[in-house]
Amino acid sequence: MSTSAPDTAVAPDAGTERPTSGELLEVTDLRTTIRTPRGPLVAVDGVSLRLKRGETLGIVGESGSGKTVLSRSIMGLLPGRGTMLTGSVRFDGQELVGAPESLLRSIWGPRIAMVFQDPMTSLNPVHRIGRQIAETLRLHLKLSKKLANQSAVTLLAQVGIPSPELRARNYPVELSGGMRQRVMIAIALACGPELLLADEPTTGLDVTIQAQILDLLAEAQRMRHMAMIFVTHDLGIVATRTDQIMVMYAGRAVEFAPTHQLFANVRMPYTEALLHSTPRMGNPSHTRLAAIDGRPPDLVSRPPGCSFAARCPYAQDKCREESPMLVADAAEPDHFYACWYPRGTSTPVHPQGAPSDA
C-alpha cells in the first residue's frame, strides 16, 4: 500500500513519510445529549471504537440511529448551545472533546476532513467551484491565490471531473449530483487529511455513479494511506469496502466486528434484519423487500430493556426488562454484540472492556 501523498501542489506532506501503522483514532464512551423541549435526547449513547491508520470502518444503521451525530461528534461539529458531549475522542493521541475551537480549526481540513451527505446544501451556491476549493487551500496551506487556483483545477482532474478548467468556473447548480459530490471529495482531500469521514456520500445517486464515487474514495485512501469512516444505511455498500463494521441502533453500538466475521456470523437480530432488507442482484424483478416492522424507540423517553425488543421477532421477557451490554463472542473475541439471545450462538461472554479494548 502506498504511504505517500500524490505528487501535486496540494499535497501537504509530499516528500515526507506518514506513519503507516498504529492507532489514529480512539473514541471512548462517547455520549452526545441534545436539549429538546421534551427533555434531553441522548443521540449517541456510550459508543467506543478504535481505528488504525489506513483502516476503514463502516458505521451502519437506519435513519435516526445516531450515525451522523456520531461522525459529527467525532469531528466536533455539533452546535454548542443545547448540546453536551462527554467521553473521549483522541486523535493521534490528542484529546478533542473539550478542546478549544482554535485547536479544532487547525485540525479540520489538514488532518481530519468530512464529505457530507448533500453537496447541494454543503457547497456555497453563489461562489464558483474553483474558488471554494482554492479558499480551503489558501486557509490551511497558505498558498498564493495563483497556486491555489491551479491546485483547485488539479484536484478537480484528480476526482475525475472532465474539463476541470471549465468546471472550476461553474456554480454548484450547473453541475450534476455526481459532479457536486466529486467536488465535495476534492475539497475534503485538498489538504491531505489523515482521517476522512464520509457521511452517506452516495445517497441520491444512481448505482453507476455510486460505484464511481466509492471507487474514487477507495483510490484516494490507497494513495494517501488515510483512515476512513464510512457512514451508510446500506450493508451492501460496506461489504467489500471496509475492514470493520459497527452497527448502530437507537444511538448505541449493537454489533461490532471485522467485516468478514460480521457477514459470516451475524449475531444481532437487528443486523440480520438489515441484511434481509438489502436488495439482491439475484432476486427476480419486483421482488418485495423485507421490511423491519415498527419504529425506533423514543430517545427522550427510552423504554426499559433492549431498544430493539419491540421490533425483534426473537424477543423474550428478559429483552423487555433488561438492557444487554456489548459483549464478546466466545468463539470470536473481536466480535461484539448487544443481545441476550444472539443469533447462531448460545451464552455470551462478557469481555473486560468495550470493542475498543479488543
182: number of Cβ within 10 Å: 25
Q: Strands, DSSP E only, in 61-190?
A: 83-91, 94-95, 112-115
Q: What is the pLDDT of residue 345?
A: 64
Q: What is the pLDDT of residue 242?
A: 95
Q: What is the pLDDT of residue 201?
A: 87
Q: What is the pLDDT of residue 3?
A: 33
Q: What is the pLDDT of residue 282?
A: 66
For residue 246, give Cα distances in angstroms to 50, 254, 257: 11, 8, 7
Q: What is the pLDDT of residue 57?
A: 97
Class of domain 23-242: alpha beta
Q: What is the pLDDT of residue 70?
A: 96
Q: What is the pLDDT of residue 157?
A: 93
Q: What is the pLDDT of residue 315?
A: 93
Cell readout for 8 is: 501535486
Cα-to-chain-centroid distance, residue 101: 22
How many C-alpha atoms does 173 have within 13 Å on its Cβ side? Answer: 4
**Structural contact between residues 135 and 113, judged by C-beta atoms closer than 8 angstroms:** no
Q: What is the pLDDT of residue 354?
A: 42
Give the span between the Cα atoms of 349 and 337, in whole angstroms: 10
How many C-alpha atoms does 89 have within 13 Å on its Cβ side? Answer: 20
* Mean pLDDT by groups of 10 residues along the chain of 358 residues: 34 45 90 94 95 96 93 88 93 94 90 86 91 92 92 93 94 92 91 93 82 88 91 88 96 96 94 83 70 89 94 94 93 94 66 40
Q: What is the pLDDT of residue 344?
A: 80
**Structural contact between residues 179 and 213, judged by C-beta atoms closer than 8 angstroms:** no
DSSP character string of 158-175: HTT-SSHHHHTTS-GGGS
Q: What is the pTM of this model?
A: 0.86
At 195, is the secondary structure helix, strand, or coil? strand
